[in-house]
Structure 1
């Protein structure tokens, strides 16, 4: 029972000493403090922080004039463009919730998101007309559609609505005050899970979590004043790991990029002095495998932050040689993006390449803004021993964990059972407290009663010089129950036989862990570079 003390008397929470946390104030501060600092670069376009702030206020004012307010959903189907940055501020300035749609989903999935999220407005890029048109046709009550025509896009695509984005902004007041949340628990964004399991859910973020994760990025990624950030990570993915809000904290520059290609990436990094970028492992592959004709000398070493699978030793070595310092992060849509970092120790620099790669393979420790991270028994909730061997489920708790799943109380309750957010990822805890993933709970292969980590088999395949990507799933087996089935994507021009790859794995794995079948071809991936294993499991079951 709480005891009353002298500190509980006449020291109340009032407006003067308590304001709801929100990332919206970060932009206002940047615009007042550094009004002339370049905020956005897109092709020849340059916009200052004062201009960015004014455009976001115009957007908020125009939306408010159309009746958009607290609790309404505004969906956007946009590439990494200036409009996408503006929506991250302008939409929540009305009290509405921003739903950034995955630009690679099909029409049925987009229609589901628009209907399930009850979108009142859709802001869409002309490039995505082939998907948006059929998606809107599926809806009984389509939202108000605003078309964004990016000058940097010259491909096909018809307008889907009657309103132009720039004309719509002109309806708004650049001095529009906007609204701050009454409660920091108010929803700020809606993100649908990426679909690696085939079961997307609507993840709801609140203002407090967005504000804290944005600050966590500043600390974790060593963002000094005025960094230059290249948008290789899709902004629709976990709101770009909250970096649209992060950069305002340090008055950084957004360098927009519609398509992730090696040549444009190198050109923009060299031209604008890019200091930081984020991306899936596939982005690293693009950079280190780029032909010399597309490469440009970098003005300095560039910080690269990657999540998903741990980078193989060869990729890390290639990135170091190309001028990049790689940091491994870990998180989920439900944790606003990365909430765990492989915090590097200076004395690890003296380790050999393989030893450094082993350290880099660990997901790491919690962000400063995540209150709890542990590996626990999923049934008893007891912490597993910190021995680097005992398997448990990775669990989180804190202010950068989602509010829950929209309209899905059963899934929300299951995710938070026992007072922890259950990630569904299986891992171990090392003696120094660093966690390391071993697999998704659904991806562990149980062969003859033995647990086989698909990540361990994939890592062995990754080390082969001909392999560009690999994914391992369980294949039903009448004798063993399940055996590993590997799907392998070779590097351009490379050749390898299945038996040769199995022989290669024999040098790195115990015999019972060897893949019994290898299938060659391009791996199905989400827009963020994650392999869609549910598709591969279906293929493996079908033989």
Structure 2
């Protein structure tokens, strides 16, 4: 991707190594009149929550592409409010040259009631990519039914180098298996539900960690959250929330669980909460 830009004569602005600084970032956007950005939701959140976003001119931005993880709706709305209609979502992975589906600028909206808001969607299949939702037995599912996102097309790799076993598993039935669970709506939009391995099974019920995280994230004291399944003597598994609070905010685990019970089916609510600073990689 970098070389394509160079071939077309488009300058690249690269941040130097070290701690990520939103003010340095916005200063560079203003100085170099940056028009296109590619980043991850955690970095977008840091950029639009930092006060420097209002002190630098970023009107040159045409596209801010975000990928790599689901973006919480509250973060998406703030980004749209601060930056305007420049947000573009990619959904994919390395095996498909980065993109299975995309959600262009016009498929975003600040207002939850706007039909273009497409809350929870990861967009529509990219050009040249055939996407379908299958169950475990490779039966193609109807719109609205939860199954695995599978795809095929010229952008999909042919397999894993020197690993025929992994290739056979990932390309069962002639389709590449993403490992992600989703539903496809009648209009072709794909709504991501969870990673297959991240589904929490409690008392025979499937719980989406993303759904629980989205609810917890709406609490005004919560900065970040991650939900996982932990062993439970009675139910097999139960949700546990790891939470980072906003600066100068206080919240108990009991209060957060009660908040969840007001906004979720009770069986989906965390049974325990741990307040920590969530670890991150250098890219967020």
Q: TM-score, normalised by structure 1?
A: 0.49
**Alignment match, 2:191:** 436
**Partner SS for 1:286:** helix
C-alpha displacement at 1:330, in angstroms? 0.4
**Alignment match, 1:472:** 227
1:148-205 CA distance string (max 9 Å, x none): xxxxxxxxxxxxxxxxxxxxxxxxxxxxxxxxxxxxxxxxxxxxxxxxxxxxxxxxxx
C-alpha displacement at 1:308, in angstroms? 3.5
**Alignment match, 1:511:** 266
1:462 and 1:433, CA in 2 relative to 1: closer, same or farther beyond 3 A?
same
**Alignment match, 2:246:** 491
C-alpha displacement at 1:525, in angstroms? 3.2
1:481 and 1:375, CA in 2 relative to 1: closer, same or farther beyond 3 A?
same
Q: Distance in 2 between matches of 1:357 and 1:258?
A: 37
* Mapping of residues 28-427 of structure 1, within 5 Å: 243-248=1-6, 250-259=8-17, 260-292=20-52, 295-324=55-84, 325-343=86-104, 345=106, 349=109, 352-353=111-112, 359-370=118-129, 372-379=130-137, 381-387=138-144, 390-427=145-182
Q: Distance in 2 between matches of 1:359 and 1:265?
A: 29
8 Å contact from structure 1 (residues 300, 323) kept in 2: no
Query: RMSD of aligned C-alpha atoms?
Result: 2.3
**Partner SS for 1:277:** strand
Query: Larger C-alpha radius of gyration, 1 or 2?
Result: 1
2:202 to 429, 440, 447: 447
Aligned length: 281
1:293 and 1:280, CA in 2 relative to 1: closer, same or farther beyond 3 A?
closer
Q: TM-score, normalised by structure 2?
A: 0.90
C-alpha displacement at 1:435, in angstroms? 1.0
Unaligned residue ranges in structure 2 (runs of 5+)? none
8 Å contact from structure 2 (residues 53, 82) kept in 1: no
1:81-130 CA distance string (max 9 Å, x none): xxxxxxxxxxxxxxxxxxxxxxxxxxxxxxxxxxxxxxxxxxxxxxxxxx
**Partner SS for 1:254:** coil
1:360 and 1:307, CA in 2 relative to 1: closer, same or farther beyond 3 A?
farther
C-alpha displacement at 1:356, in angstroms? 6.2
Q: Distance in 2 between matches of 1:440 and 1:267?
A: 37
- Choose between structure 1 and 2: higher helix proportion: 1
1:322 and 1:293, CA in 2 relative to 1: closer, same or farther beyond 3 A?
closer
1:399-421 CA distance string (max 9 Å, x none): 21123222221111111111000
Q: Distance in 2 between matches of 1:343 and 1:292?
A: 26
Q: Distance in 2 between matches of 1:269 and 1:360?
A: 28
Do residues 502 (structure 1) and 260 (structure 2) align? no
8 Å contact from structure 2 (residues 132, 140) kept in 1: yes
C-alpha displacement at 1:470, in angstroms? 1.2
C-alpha displacement at 1:382, in angstroms? 1.9
